[in-house]
Copies of this chain bind each other. A is one copy, B any other.
Amino acid sequence: MPATAAAIVANRAFPAPLPAAIREEEDVLNPAAAVARMGTVVSFTRNAEIFGEDEPADHVFVVLSGVVRICKLLGDGRRQIETFCLKGDAFGWETAERTRFSAEAVSECRLARVKRSLLFSRATDDSALARAIWNLTFTELHRAQDHLLLLGRKTAQERVATFLLDLARRSSPVDLSEVHLPMSRQDIADYLGLTIETVSRTLTQLEGSAAIALPSSRCIVLRDRNALRRLDS
């Protein structure tokens, strides 16, 4: 479906000249380019809050660089990270007027910020844009559905293996075996529905079974993708 969205975006005629800062990065975020192009660039430092839970939902964002986590908190400290947004991902879609989760910068990041009202009013006259928005939303739904299966039915090893393969696939177009982890163990744990200790132990186990190597805590080498895929099932 990235292909479909990209095609739609490519076929659009753009009325206004592109802001230079965005145009130069256009190639790297095809599916969301039509949306990003309508926005302005904003930057956030590590751990900065982009928006909080239950705030007015006025903007949609597209990641230009860096990583963002989308999370929900439960009364007590418990936190669930719904998804990590990487370069080219869009977030902040809402039908209601208030946000249902918070968004925070995992690493330094640059985002394109687009006014929701502008986006949706343009989409009314521009069916290609409407379709692009639908595709982006749908991609999110797919991700959430896969995440659901992982949280409901997979073991710790399966969860970690799935996570690593997914991150590797999304981080780099080529199948590089060395993967950089932009997020902390706590972030990974809150994404996978585990504790930091279990994430750490599981990584050690996978290293023991030669599926991965851990040259440093934020760098993982996928040594045996098939072993991981077997766990991913």
Contacts and interface: CB of A to CB of B under 8 A. Distances in A.
A100 B146 CA distance: 10
Contacts of A152: 80, 151, 190, 192-193
Interface stretch (A106-114, A136-144, A201-209, A212-220): A136-144
A145 B100 contact: yes
B82 A4 contact: no
Contacts of A138: 93, 95, 137
Contacts of A192: 152
Interface residues of A, number: 42
B127 A137 contact: no
Nearest to A192: B152
A214 to B, nearest CB: 24
A80 B1 contact: no
A80 B153 contact: yes
A65 interface: no
Interface in A109-137: 123-125, 127, 130-131, 133-135, 137
A125 B142 CA distance: 26
Contact of A148 (B1, B95, B148): B148
Contacts of A51: none
Interface stretch (A10-18, A21-29, A71-79): A71-79
Contact of A145 (B133, B144, B149): B144
A20 interface: no
A193 B145 contact: no
- Which of A101, A149, A233 is packed against the most chain B CB atoms within 10 Å? A149
The 9 closest A-B pairs by CB, nearest first: A152-B193, A1-B95, A151-B151, A144-B144, A80-B152, A75-B233, A80-B149, A78-B153, A130-B130
Interface of A: 1, 4, 72, 74-75, 78-80, 82, 93, 95-96, 100-101, 123-125, 127, 130-131, 133-135, 137-142, 144-145, 147-149, 151-154, 190, 192-193, 233
